[in-house]
Amino acid sequence: RKEVEQDPGPFNVPEGATVAFNCTYSNSASQSFFWYRQDCRKEPKLLMSVYSSGNEDGRFTAQLNRASQYISLLIRDSKLSDSATYLCVVNPNAGNNRKLIWGLGTSLAVNP
Amino acid sequence: DVKVTQSSRYLVKRTGEKVFLECVQDMDHENMFWYRQDPGLGLRLIYFSYDVKMKEKGDIPEGYSVSREKKERFSLILESASTNQTSMYLCASSAGIHEQYFGPGTRLTVT
């Protein structure tokens, strides 16, 4: 089993749709979690950190389910500019983030 | 805003050449990282450094070395470039347990 697994997609959705991605991780002791966004041929950029209580930032909501070992990202009211690859990232270490585990990403295309 | 800069956006080198990729961050972060990213393989960690002159191997260190003489600067060295090192190289920095911030990347082609 891969350490971090994501459905590669692509997810093709119309503007205004709600879309959700899940990401599963294998190390139950993992400490912190992130969602990054990566546009084509650009660097990854932090979208959200994922807290145990879940967190929301505008149209984006991240949830953590430790019992089932997955994190999710929900995007409401999708915009064309949301088209990107979304990377799930897991930090298995307490006290530092020296070796993050990166998923391969989920590709999202928002269509007019 | 955190700023991470990389010395080149695009680089073309010949097989056997020595290649230097430089990365500079301006946020006094103690941790710095070098990754490569290839289609279907995702981000793979080459080396990281958690302090000046300190370095640790990542998952794919073979064929690479690094140097960190100053806190803000982390260099990746390809001693003798090979075609299988053609890739996108991404530098990142972070403080403690917090998120990593990336530079714009260097697309290296080895011919």
CA B67 to chain centre: 10
Query: What are the φ and ψ backbone dihedral angles of B85, each rounded to 5 degrees?
Result: -100, 5
Percent of chain B with pLDDT over 90: 89
A97 falls in which pLDDT band (50, 70, 90)? low
In this structure, the strands spanning A106-111 and A70-75 are: unpaired
Task: Report the 10 Å Cβ neighbour count for A45.
Answer: 14
pLDDT at B103 over 70: yes
* Rounded to 5°, angle at Cα B91 from A3 and A82: 70
- The SS3 of residue B17 is coil
Shortest CA gap B106–chain A (Å): 10
Distance (Å) of CA B56 to CA A60, B45, B97:
35, 10, 17
Residues of chain A in contact with residue B99, where contact means CB-CB under 8 angstroms, are: 34, 46, 49, 97
Mean of all residue pLDDT scores within chain A: 92
Residues of chain A in contact with residue B94, where contact means CB-CB under 8 angstroms, are: 97
